[in-house]
Amino acid sequence: MEQNISQSTIEIIKKYDFVFQKKFGQNFLIDGRVLDKIIEAAGIGKEDCVLEIGPGIGTLTKRLAEEAGKVIAVEIDKKLIPILGDVLGGYDNVTLLNEDILKVDIGALVEEYNGGKPIKVVANLPYYITTPIIMGLFESHVPIDNITVMVQKEVAERMQTGPGSKDYGALSLAVQYYALPYIVANVPPNCFMPRPKVGSAVIRLTRHEEQPVVVKNERFLFQLIRASFNQRRKTLQNALHNMGELELSKEQIADALRKMGLSESVRGEKLTLEEFAQLSDLLLKES
């Protein structure tokens, strides 16, 4: 099967004289087993409306169109649009949009194509904008059931890990605030054309039905998290104090840490999401 996808990819590229654009993170999937894993992990059925980010030459899009009720595919590269038009010609449940996903009003799409009901997001993401895409989807509070995406392996690990690991940071906390991450599979470079320089992984982020923590001010929580990891080798007290815009004195921070039973010399990388939430509420009250 992989052999076929690889051959048909080469044929399409030749037929349309397509030139891969590095700036768009174009590494097309050519392994059928990986496609199967993505579809299976996303749990797609006929009742689903799927948003695909970056359909490329439509390899994954075709599979999605066969399994889902509706597919909305958003592709930035205008050179791919006629190719996608041909490749997806036989599928009447696919809507193709030539747009930059970072500029699309996804909430309006969900309203228009799925009556505001939660959608599933599936993609082999362009790696250069992984974080803004994922965070944009979460922060805009668009109704989403799950996000199943191919990302750089290292980024998948950062999303899934907890306190104490060197990979733990602002991205781990932000993702886990909104969703439950699960790494579905590691994917080597030879599953793509052209081969990326980095390893990849498929990760599923299942949106929490209920937030694991509730804070008084979400924006403040994320400011605090970002400040803590901006200077990750510093103690939490210094990192937060040094972030002038938070206007936190060392005494305020020490006092909050004491109330939480944490040492004054603790670093941000030791705190769980629950502890960050608690700290956020304590400092907000005192500031």
User: Which residues would be at the binding site for ligand SAM (CB under 6 A)?
Assistant: 24-29, 53-56, 59-60, 74-77, 80, 100-102, 124, 126, 129
Cα 73 to Cα 13, 53, 84, 103, 190: the distances in Å are 20, 6, 10, 14, 25
* CB-nearer residue toward ligand SAM: 87 or 174: 87
Whichever of 86 and 100 has its CB closer to ligand SAM, that residue is 100
CA atoms within 13 A on the CB side of 16: 19
Burial (0-12, 13-18, 19+ Cβ within 10 Å), 185: middle
Whole-angstrom distance, CA of residue 140 vs CA of residue 75 = 20
Taking the least distance from each CB to ligand SAM, the nearer of 56 and 181 is 56
- State in angstroms the smallest separation of the CB of 89 from ligand SAM: 17
Least Cβ distance, residue 127 to ligand SAM (angstroms): 7
Closer by beta carbon to ligand SAM, 16 or else 24 = 24
Residues facing residue 185 across a β-bridge: 202
3-state secondary structure 66-109: HHCCEEEEECCCCCHHHHHHHHCCCCCCEEEECCCHHHCCHHHH
Nearer to ligand SAM, 163 or 196 (CB): 196
Closer to ligand SAM at the Cβ: 23 or 233?
Answer: 23
156 token code pair = 């998948």
Residue showing the smallest CB distance to ligand SAM in the complex: 54
> Taking the complex as a whole, how short is the minimal distance between the CB of residue 29 and ligand SAM, in angstroms?
4
- Minimum CB–partner distance for residue 137 and ligand SAM (Å): 13
Closest approach of Cβ 78 to ligand SAM, in Å? 10
Q: Rounded to the nearest whole angstrom, what is the least distance from the CB of residue 4 to ligand SAM in the complex?
A: 14
